[in-house]
Amino acid sequence: MTVQEKINAPLPTAPIPDDMAMLRAAVDLTRDISAAKASIYWPDMLGSAAIGYAGIAGAILLHGWQAWASAGIAVLFLYRALLFIHELTHIHRTALPGFRFVWNLVAGIPMLTPSFMYEGVHTLHHARTKYGTIEDPEYLPLALMKPWSLPAFILIAALLPIGLLIRCAVLVPLGAVIPPLRKLVWERASSLSINPDFRRRPPEGDFARMVFWQELGAAVWAWALLASTQWLGWRWLVIALCVVSATAVFNQIRTLVAHLWQNDGAAMTVTAQYLDSVNVPPPELFAPLWAPVGLRYHALHHLLPSLPYHSLGEAHRRLAGHLGSGSTYERASYPGLWPLVGRIARSTMIRR
């Protein structure tokens, strides 16, 4: 199947059986690269956060094109730093001691997206019987929806920073004394999900204790941000919120092309889930910018969710070489961002 044929391919009309040869190869060929390397994770995450915050400082303190350039740098590097939340949900809890705690201090809480907002949620997206169903918090059949759904999908992301600030500074503290509000905020506004029908279950045990401290940290930080405007003014906070808004839009566009979004709610085989997901391998040059931390290999990630991001490129090379052109594995590879955006946009227009 050519690239253009894949881009224009119609929705599947019959269940897709599992390609057992591909599933076995995915496991067998990657056993030796399955360990998360602290020497890669730590400098990548900390360096990205440091450059991102330096970019925000430049956007606030500089003027003209220098301020705009600094804001662009902030968006790219804060985006990369934030996406380590995805890795936190998959790496074994003993693999990188202290990484979760430090990530929350330098990225999660300052950006008002502590790790609990993804942990315990994203794994449902990978559950064998939940992917693409109403129980999947990260799935919407966007390819089957109306044309206006795509701009609305992006607009929601642009408003996310304001929503997070209101959530952490107002709703969470009020929820501490108003149980019905606390229940509502937890169920509907405590996860990085896109499915409006998803309702989050109450936290339990050690996870509940972690949620308490992360919520407290985010609330205190939100209050500090708002209080600081009394002597620093609003300009710096508005600029920072605009940077975060652009980061959220960037991520939402990446999310838009992470899958083909063709499932109508039925349970899918692992291979069907793989083919509903997207790889954008080399030679595409810009994927490391708009799909960093391994997310250019999103379909491969659905085959091997626990494989660390720094191993996905090598895993792709091995599987592509072993399974060859025309294989099921090759069918999930696409040439770039805009052909995928065009595909889903055309799909919504056809179904208007």
Instruction: Please give the model's pTM, rounded to 2 decimal places.
Output: 0.93
Phi-psi region for residue 39, left (φ > 0), alpha (ψ -120 to 50) or beta? Answer: alpha
Mean pLDDT, residues 203-224 taken together: 96
Residues 145, 26: Cα–Cα separation, whole Å? 33
Dump pLDDT digits (tens) for 277-309.
Answer: 999 999 999 999 999 999 999 999 999 999 999
Q: Which helix (H) or strand (E) holds 56?
A: helix 38-61
Dump pLDDT digits (tens) for 51-60.
Answer: 999 999 999 9
Dump pLDDT digits (tens) for 305-350.
Answer: 999 999 999 999 999 999 999 999 999 999 999 999 999 988 888 7
Is pLDDT of 86 > 80?
Answer: yes
Is pLDDT of 253 > 90?
Answer: yes
Instruction: Quote the mean pLDDT of the chain.
Output: 93
Percent of the chain with pLDDT over 70: 95
Predicted local distance difference test score (pLDDT) of residue 13: 47
- Strand ranges in the chain using DSSP code E only, listed in sequence order: none
Is pLDDT of 163 > 50?
Answer: yes
Dump pLDDT digits (tens) for 102-129.
Answer: 999 999 999 999 999 999 999 999 988 8
Mean pLDDT, residues 149-178 taken together: 95
User: Quick one: which of 25, 160, 15, 3 has its CA closest to 79?
Assistant: 160
Predicted local distance difference test score (pLDDT) of residue 10: 54
Predicted local distance difference test score (pLDDT) of residue 2: 55
Dump pLDDT digits (tens) for 20-49.
Answer: 999 999 999 999 999 999 999 999 999 999
